[in-house]
Amino acid sequence: MSISINEVAKNLALKVDGNICTIVDFNHVKPPKGSAFVRIKLRNVMTGLVIERTYRSAESLDDVTLEERKLQYLYNTGDLYHFMDQTTFEEHIIEKDNVAHVVNFLLDNMEIFGYVYQDRVLKVELPNFIITKITETEPGVKGDSTKSNTKPAKIETGYTILVPLFIDVDQWIKIDTRSGEYVERVNR
């Protein structure tokens, strides 16, 4: 479906050069001489790269419907990751290259968000925070509750992060999945 350049809005999905992109920012420009144009910043849904394009006001753009769906992580077999759509209960199989950015924090049965175009999952995103268990680390130092000193610790997924010295094996922690950093200890 085509839309006019005057109908652009943030987070609108477009097909640009064969890639699905979302609008990050746009600016209508009316120069003193010449015709008006719109400068648009687009984020490629698959790669995350941001590009900038300029369109004349007479041009039209290809609008696409990009659905956000809740998916549940089931399991992986080699380089294939299996997810179940929470509304249709269909199974989606995604290659490791498309989920490499979330694999370190992907827990069994975790609910994540998937961006779907024409029944194909283009990208998955984790929740901003997850709660996971420490499976391996050096013994905790009693009485040391400062956050300045850290030690490596392995979580349930096998990924290693830095945690404060007082964290011990079998304790639950909260992790920011955007930065991969320890946030706080959680009582469970």
Tell me the pLDDT tens digit for each residue of 92-117: 998 888 888 888 999 989 999 998 88
Q: Could you name the CATH architecture of 2-63?
A: Roll (2.30)
Integer Cα distance of 58 and 36 in angstroms: 9
Q: Where in the chain is the domain with CATH 2.30.30.30?
A: 2-63
- Indicate the burial class of 119 (C-beta count within 10 angstroms; 0-12, 13-18, 19 or more): exposed
Q: For 67-125, which CATH superfamily applies?
A: Nucleic acid-binding proteins (2.40.50.140)
End-to-end CA distance of the chain: 50
Q: Given this model, what pLDDT does residue 96 score?
A: 85
Q: For 129-186, which CATH superfamily applies?
A: Nucleic acid-binding proteins (2.40.50.140)
Strand partners, 77: 80
